[in-house]
Amino acid sequence: MERRERLVELDYFNAAACLMVMLIHVLSLGVTELDRGSWQAAAVYLPWRLAAFAVPAFLFCGAVKLGARFRKEDGGPKYGPYVLGRVWKVYLPYAAAVVVYYAVLAQIHYVTPSWKGFFSYLWLGNLSSQFYYIVITMQFYLLMPLWRWAVRRVPWYEAMLWAAAAQFLVQKGGAWLGFPWTDRVFPAYLVFWTAGLYAGRHYGAVRARLEADRRGIAWSALPVALCAAVSWRQFAAGWEALPIDLDVLKLFTDGMSILLLLTACISLQGRAAGLERALRGIHRASFFVYLSHCLVLTLVTYWLLQAGVYRIAVQLAVRALACFTVPFLLYFVYWKIRRRVKCM
């Protein structure tokens, strides 16, 4: 059996990305419901925007792990076992989550039960706002031989140019052609996956460079914060004539944010034992929490509205409390049950 190199900083990275996804979904209610020109909207929108690189970060992290496995002399994982493993560990839990969500949402009349509707949700990953990531990442997993060939035969700078061109064409061309699912096809995120593959393939050199240039990388926080501020101003005031395309610019700020987070995770090791333990625990629970947290948010918001609680501030506070506790408690119960079953 293949023994994998343990890159602990990627566990911390994954945990942080999971928390950011949860934050995005907690705050989304405020982004859509608050008065755009208010300070309350700004207080919600800015952290929401700053955390919006979480899905590219997840893809980058997964690609780093795969690229690191390509460094092995035997070429890394075999295609059949690799894909079956991804189906077992990723797609089947996702499918089970879709069943649970569909059953619960049908009970509260958020969806109309039908087999056609169910399989459409399963295929497109659009039953809940976080599910599309599974649809995208499975496409990347299925193309594993292409990635193995690329990191061995194509220089990184050529691969990044091709990836950027493909991503731009899909994102912009899809909009021009009226294709509604550009956010659910893998080329729309190809830059982040490609960067992760090459970073993983040469991870020792990449890590050494990040450690040596921590101060320079820290300066990346300035353009990231500036773009978030401009984005908020556009959101609040409706600046339609800005001379820059913030969607294109987001490609670069997401990359900067990923470098900032990875560098912080590398620097963390050996410096904060309590925080490291917490991040390891979050990492272990992260996939379960990722799949389940939006159902918790939906039910909590539904119950608040049924109880006549309409104040957005109260809803946001209760949503945050529930989202950052209940999914982890459910995972703890699941882990206990699974452990007991294994011991029987």
- The span from the CA of 200 to the CA of 70, in Å, is 8
Q: In whole numbers, what is the pLDDT of the chain averaged over residues?
A: 91
Tell me the whole-structure pTM to 2 decimals.
0.92
For 329-338, what is the mean pLDDT?
Answer: 92
CA dihedral 208, 214, 220, 221 (to 10 degrees): 130
pLDDT digits (tens, 9 = 90+) for 256-315: 999 999 999 999 987 888 899 999 999 999 999 999 999 999 999 999 999 999 999 999
- The span from the CA of 87 to the CA of 89, in Å, is 6
Going from the C-alpha of 297 to that of each of 51, 125, 291, 341, the distances in angstroms are 18, 18, 12, 29
- The span from the CA of 18 to the CA of 57, in Å, is 10
Question: What is the per-residue pLDDT for 271?
Answer: 83
For 133-153, what is the mean pLDDT?
Answer: 95
Question: Does position 240 have pLDDT exceeding 70, yes or no?
Answer: no
Residue 268, token pair as written in the block: 């963390």
Question: What is the per-residue pLDDT for 1?
Answer: 44
Predicted confidence band of residue 91 (pLDDT cuts 50, 70, 90): very high
Report the 10 Å Cβ neighbour count for 38. 11
Question: Does position 341 have pLDDT exceeding 90, yes or no?
Answer: no
Question: What is the per-residue pLDDT for 18?
Answer: 97
Going from the C-alpha of 59 to that of each of 31, 71, 91, 207, 219, the distances in angstroms are 25, 19, 15, 18, 24
Predicted confidence band of residue 176 (pLDDT cuts 50, 70, 90): low
Closest CA to 94 of 288, 314, 310: 288
